[in-house]
Amino acid sequence: MMRKEKGNNMQAMKNTNNSVNKNNEKAKINQWINVGKTYFDKRNYKEGLPFFEMVLEKDPEHVYALQCASQFYLHAGDFEKAAPLCKKLIAKGSLSPASTRLYKRLADETNHDVLDDVLTVLIHVENYEQIKKSCRDNLEKEKEALLKIKDNREQKGKEIPFEWYIAMVNNRLNAKDLEESELYLNEVEAHAVTPYDEIEAARYYHKYGMMHPEPRKIFEEAFNKMKSHPYYPYLELIVDLKIKLNPNQEMRDAQLALLKLYNQNLKIPYNKEKKREVKMQIGMIIHYQELANKLEVEPEHQNKFQHKLEILNQVKKHRTCK
């Protein structure tokens, strides 16, 4: 009986010692983190680095220590030491977009391929612009990354954002895949909610229209779209296609009719309107004014543009003062 009690006491003492050791170890790690952070806050990175390295010796998966140490090596240009730390952070979903860009740039400078690592981060944060830049020379890789984002969202029951459709149609247009471009362009138009979305859809329709093998068909489509959505990308496309179809054919009457159609549909936003709306309207008028100049439209019609531009500038100035 006494032996059994003695054995239990020994085990309890051992557990207590282990607990004390663990607490001491945790306290040491916290102390090293605090000292290293103090040095880093003072931008004395070289002095702070050893403390984060000591942390990683005790706990190789410590996220904050990994982040600080990787930052040091990335800025120092030491890819060999930075890469394993960055890979660990990528696996944990803890490498920041800024560090990801630095990691990719350093890899490019040292002739290392880390595109898959970088895309893992960018897919997670759904950074469409950086995905496009990273896959500049590999459009199929960009498409693959965008489809992964879509799959992830669908698995979580989330809606696919308008920006995703824009990124995909841009990718397919750059790949000169007109069949898929048309499919995604239809999705872009279907998911356009605000006037800004509709203008963005019109911009990509312009790009698609200029690549299409049947310019006359697109010309007619753009003309009809312009009637219901008087946005400048449609008019630019009509003008560009007119020149492409027959540079000598006189189309000023049709173009002028469209300009007048826009003029009738333009709503002047006053103080109650949003600042962004004012900015958009100013941008649209400037585009139409440039087109009117290009088409040598009558001064009387150009004066209408100028009058509305002056009103909008006054509204913008008033809202900026407020």
**What average pLDDT values come out for the chain (322 residues) when binned by 10 residues?**
48 45 79 91 90 92 93 91 91 85 89 89 89 90 95 94 95 95 94 86 92 89 79 74 64 54 50 51 60 55 56 51 40
Looking at residue 307, its pLDDT comes to: 57
pLDDT at 13: 40
Q: What per-residue confidence (pLDDT) applies to 268?
A: 43
Please name the residues in contact with 243: beta carbons below 8 A apart, sequence gap of 6 or more.
none
Q: Which residues contact 208 (CB under 8 A, 6 or more apart)?
A: 169, 173, 178, 181, 182, 185, 218
The token pair that represents 209 in the structure block: 């229209």
pLDDT for position 125: 86
- In the block, tokens 């006189």 appear at 250
Query: Are the beta carbons of 202 and 183 closer than 8 angstroms?
Result: no
Q: How far apart are CA 13 and CA 19, in angstroms?
A: 10
Q: Is 111 left (phi over 0), alpha (psi -120 to 50) or beta?
A: left
User: Which pLDDT score, from 0 to 100, does residue 198 have?
Assistant: 87
Return the structure tokens found at 99: 């560090």
* Residue 99 near residue 135, CB atoms below 8 Å: no
Total number of residues shown for the chain: 322
**Contact in structure between 309 and 289 (CB atoms under 8 Å):** yes
Q: Which two tokens stand for residue 193?
A: 């909610």
Burial label for 259, CB within 10 Å (0-12, 13-18, 19+), is buried
CA 123 to chain CA mean position, Å: 11
Domain extent listing, the chain: 161-246, 250-322
